[in-house]
Amino acid sequence: MAILETRALEKNFGGVFVARAINFEMQPGEIHCLIGPNGAGKSSFFRLILGQHQPSAGTIWFDGQEITPLKSFQRIRLGISVKFQVPGIFKALSVWQNLEIGLQYHMQGDSLSAEIRQVLDFIELTDQATERAGNLSHGQQQWLEIGMAMSVKPKLLLLDEPTAGMSPQETAKTGEMVRTLNAEGMSILAVEHDMTFVRQIAQQVTVLHFGEIFAQGTIDQIVADERVAKIYLGKTNEA
Amino acid sequence: MSDLASRSAAPSGADRAAGARRGWRPWRLLARLNGPQTLGRGPAFWGGFVIVCMLVGIYPLFSDGWTVGNTAYFFTWTFMAMGLCVIWGYAGALSFGQTAFFGLSGYAYGVLTLNIGSAYGFTFLALAIGVGMSALLALLLGYFLFYGRISGVFLGIVTLSVTLVFETFMAQTAGPEWTIGSARLNGFNGMTGMPPLTLPWFDGELVLWPDIPLYYLLMGMVIVCYLALRIFVNSRFGNVLVAIRENPDRAETLGYDIRRYQLGAFIVGSSLAGLSGVLYTAWGQYITPNSMGLYAAALPIVWVAVGGRSDLTATLIGTLAVLWVFQTLTIYGSQYALVVMGALLLVTVLFAPRGLVLGLVDLAGWASGRLRRNGPASGQEDA
């Protein structure tokens, strides 16, 4: 049974399609990357999965259950979590509070504190626990949001450009984090432009173009696809 | 790192209920008097708090009856200010119409006590009913607002419209047909003659005129309300409110039904506005439609913004200070008082956007080098 499936999913804004007849399937335990040119509909696809956009047609299934009519918070409670493209952290609050607010739904007291420390250690922000989140570097803010998203132990973690604005070292570290989470059973769907990062983590890749699935396959298959190179990379493999 | 991905994302209701039972400890509640959402903690703060309470407690012994009653009048408004602080400062929803609840509860108290009287402590039951009516109205109005995803400036427009509609309606109730039992609504002139709060007292009654007994009652209520709200905003519920204020999309994608939390804050804040309305009516034995007008609706915004909307202590101090300044200005130059209030709001927004009290705290912290450059951000170990 697929962890995530969309059937003939469509969304249009006044006739402009951001998703057109998308039949997408992702297996449990997979790291799946969505790539495509700007405006291909990747972030809109995330918003449809999260319930922030209602589809014009089609259905969305999560872990065998149709979630199309559910509100955003109800989908999250089923086991979906997200890291937004622009860091969606609580900038005026401390790093600790950011994680506490995410985790307090699941636990409290000493176990909550212990879990927060464990997540802080994982995202390497232990020393910044009492810092205002808005004072962190961009990369640290990205990690904090990944920490918030993964701390609720989702079955499916959506990452929208998790390495945007990161240095190569930070990008590599983020890749390690993603692979660690995946190794512990978390399915991960990531939108990413950085092909080095995609190569580092992706087991399956889907290429979106004008709101449609343009190609699907392993990273090697996608990189070898001349049509993808043309629309996405702006060149052919021979070039 | 170990086992970070092993727990289910969605704990069962039983799990959460068991967690809640485990967490129910009185000392846990008291611990929430200190927390990341409120200014002040530790022996120095609470020592200062006790000293201030003692000074406020002995103040009537050194003052005249009129001044004590006038200070009690200031106290009546603080509940509405603290309620607005919860709705606006903590939950991030600017309600411009808290006076609708103020007026509703005030009129409810008037109608009930004019019809039934004050015997057997009924005035306190009327107080509770009045506040309950505000809570009900807040539930109804808030449901449509928050479940209809009304936010930002539109929330302010709708709530302001509600209070102006109430004012307009009550202003046209001058005719004799606008009578409920023996209580005449009396149109623009307002309703008068309701009894003050009255306690059964041994063989007789203790009538709480605007004097020392009422002062102590209101002082006690302000302290209890302030402490209870500190616990409330430092609770898990309060954490979510602050998260909604900071980033509602993120809060929702952490699994919170933000509409419920906003509605909860709105009901709490509006009930407190209703409490102010009842206490004001009982204090002065009158209530008029003006108490729900544009002018009246704007003042709580000024009190809370000038003090510091994101903190209860700042709001409380700021409200009492602004009320005193405003009254003094009104006495010595009534035509300029409102202009000065507007100027004060402008100065605050321009030079101390977090509020004057919080601005002074920041300044003191900066001067002593105890606060970090961009303000406090604590929270560790408060989980």
Q: What is the pLDDT of residues B33-63, one digit of tens each?
A: 998 999 998 899 999 999 999 999 999 999 9
End-to-end CA, chain A: 41
The Cα A168–Cα B259 span in angstroms is: 40
Look at residue B367 in the predicted model and tell me its pLDDT. 84
Look at residue B8 in the predicted model and tell me its pLDDT. 41
**Which residue of A3, A67, A86, A104 is the best one to mutate when testing the B interface, meaning the one whose CB has the most B CBs within 10 A?**
A104
Token duo for residue B336 = 């300029």
Is residue B254 less than 8 Å (CB to CB) from chain A? yes
- Lowest mean pLDDT of B153-167, B238-252, B338-352, name the range: B338-352
Give the domain ranges of chain A: 4-84+155-233
Provide the pLDDT confidence category of residue A234 given band limits of 50, 70 and 90: low
A146 phi and psi angles, rounded to 5 deg:
-60, -40
Is residue B247 less than 8 Å (CB to CB) from chain A? yes
Give the dihedral sign, CA B287/B289/B292/B296. negative
CB contact under 8 A, B4 and A150: yes
**Whether the Cβ atoms of residue B96 and residue B153 lie closer than 8 Å to each other:** no
Provide the pLDDT confidence category of residue B22 given band limits of 50, 70 and 90: low
Is residue A232 over pLDDT 90? Answer: no
Provide the b/e sequence for B275-294 (b: ≥16 CB within 10 Å): bbbbbbbbbbbbbbbbbbbe
**Which residue of A47, A54, A97 is the best one to mutate when testing the B interface, meaning the one whose CB has the most B CBs within 10 A?**
A97
Q: How many residues does chain B have?
A: 383
pLDDT, greater one: B28 or B297: B297
Parallel, antiparallel, or unpaired: how do β-strands A80-83 and A156-160 relate? Answer: parallel
Judge if ipTM > 0.95.
no
Contact residues, A window 192-231, toward B, CB-based 8 Å cutoff:
none
pLDDT, greater one: B271 or A111: B271
**Whether the Cβ atoms of residue B331 and residue B377 lie closer than 8 Å to each other:** no
Angle ∠(A90,A96,A97) on CA atoms, nearest 5: 45
Look at residue A235 in the predicted model and tell me its pLDDT. 56
The Cα A137–Cα A131 span in angstroms is: 11
Provide the pLDDT confidence category of residue B14 given band limits of 50, 70 and 90: very low
Provide the pLDDT confidence category of residue A239 given band limits of 50, 70 and 90: very low
Give the position of tokens 């007789």: B204
B317 phi and psi angles, rounded to 5 deg:
-65, -45
CA atoms within 13 A on the CB side of B100: 26
Provide the pLDDT confidence category of residue B23 given band limits of 50, 70 and 90: low
Q: Cβ contacts (< 8 Å) between B19 and chain A: which residues?
A: 107-108
The Cα B46–Cα A17 span in angstroms is: 60
For the segment B103-121, what is each residue's pLDDT rounded down to a tens digit? Answer: 999 999 999 999 999 999 9
Class of the CATH domain delimited by A4-84+155-233? alpha beta
Look at residue B174 in the predicted model and tell me its pLDDT. 95
Give the position of tokens 């998308």: A22
Q: Which of A121, A132, A127 is nearest to A94 (CA)?
A: A132
Look at residue A106 in the predicted model and tell me its pLDDT. 81
Is residue B18 over pLDDT 60? Answer: no
Token duo for residue B273 = 């506005």
The residue of chain A nearest to residue B16, with distances taken between CA atoms, is A106
Provide the pLDDT confidence category of residue B273 given band limits of 50, 70 and 90: very high
CB contact under 8 A, A78 and B10: yes
Look at residue B13 in the predicted model and tell me its pLDDT. 45
CB contact under 8 A, B249 and A153: no
Is residue B163 over pLDDT 50? Answer: yes
Give the count of beta carbons closer than 10 Å to the beta carbon of residue B357. 22
The Cα A61–Cα A67 span in angstroms is: 6
Smallest CA–CA distance, residue A100 to chain B, in Å, is 7
Is residue A72 less than 8 Å (CB to CB) from chain B? yes
Q: Which of B208, B177, B216 is nearest to B113 (CA)?
A: B208
Angle ∠(B252,B257,B261) on CA atoms, nearest 5: 110
Smallest CA–CA distance, residue B39 to chain A, in Å, is 14
**Helix, strand, coil content of chain A in percent (nearest 5):** 40, 25, 35
